Amino acid sequence: MPTELAPAKVNLYLHVTGRRADGYHLLDSLAVFGPAADALALAPADDLSLALDGPFGAALAAEPDNLVLRAARALAAAVGVPARAAMVLTKRLPVASGIGGGSADAAAALRGLDRLWGLGLGEGRLAEVAAPLGADIPVCLASRPARMQGVGEVLLPAPALPRCGLLLVNPGVALPTPAVFKARQGGFTPPAELPAAWPDAAGMARDLAGLRNDLEPPAITLCPVIAEVLAALRALPGCLLARMSGSGATCFGLFADAAAAQSAARLLPSGWWREAGGLYGGAA
């Protein structure tokens, strides 16, 4: 069966810049894709089905209308074809963890079905189908670094990124995004000023250290173990920056290269989920 990878989306910073009249928050964020990924296998079938496996598959088993199925139906409706495919999602990313797992899975479904059904739509048209399903799905379609603005639907080129390593860590606590936004207090943060490129991981870490994730404080209020994860990351040899991704509870450590991140991962508590390596699709 052809397989699409659905890599984790990592927010290197996340500023809440405002709020629309309809209640949706406006964001400014630099998104990259990390070393962990779900996998979606697709095959022709007479109807539409989704099977779940992998270490986190059971967490989605109770959802009769998974985002992958919604994406498949939306694509079929948009182009006027029957929604027919047998899909198997191997869920390796923690659920409700701030690294866009559901959005990445939906994006993988759109890419895979575009090929399986011979549609040839391309990223732009698929993004139009994706946008009503979730603001993170368009950036996950390409799975390449991008600056996200608006509610996530405005995608701008990212600075040229250096070779670096990422260590993703989750303490095993699901944290729903709406609860984190509801717990957030205070005003808004201006968009970041970013260079056109960073010469190395240390330079990138220095600039990112002057930015923030505005959702980190409310997430820690709801889930205090996040502060423990961040402290553990900061204490690791070679960690250049530690921060929470998205609405949590997954945090990341930035390292000079994949080998440094992988070495540091072995020093963390065994009960925490962790994955280390280079940027998805980039130099390790």
Counting DSSP H helices and E strands in the chain, the numbers are 9, 10
Tell me if 162 is assigned to a ligand binding site. Answer: no
Tell me if 18 is assigned to a ligand binding site. Answer: no
Tell me if 226 is assigned to a ligand binding site. Answer: no
The residue annotated as part of the active site, out of 28, 105, 136, 257, is 136
Tell me if 99 is assigned to a ligand binding site. Answer: yes
CA distance 128 to 261: 36
* Active site annotation includes 136: yes
SS3 state of residue 92: coil
Tell me if 96 is assigned to a ligand binding site. Answer: yes
Tell me if 95 is assigned to a ligand binding site. Answer: yes
Q: Which burial class, exposed, middle or buried, applies to 103 when counting CB atoms under 10 A from its CB (0-12, 13-18, 19+)? A: buried
SS3 state of residue 204: helix
Give CA torsion, residues 180, 185, 190, 193, to 10 deg: -50
* Active site annotation includes 91: no
CA distance 151 to 131: 10
CA distance 36 to 33: 8
* Closest alpha carbon to 79 in 107, 43, 118: 118
Tell me if 100 is assigned to a ligand binding site. Answer: yes
Residue 179 and residue 144 in contact, taking contact as beta carbons nearer than 8 Å: no
Tell me if 57 is assigned to a ligand binding site. Answer: no
Tell me the binding residues.
Answer: 94-104
Residue ranges of the annotated binding site for ATP are 94-104
- What are the catalytic residues? 9, 136
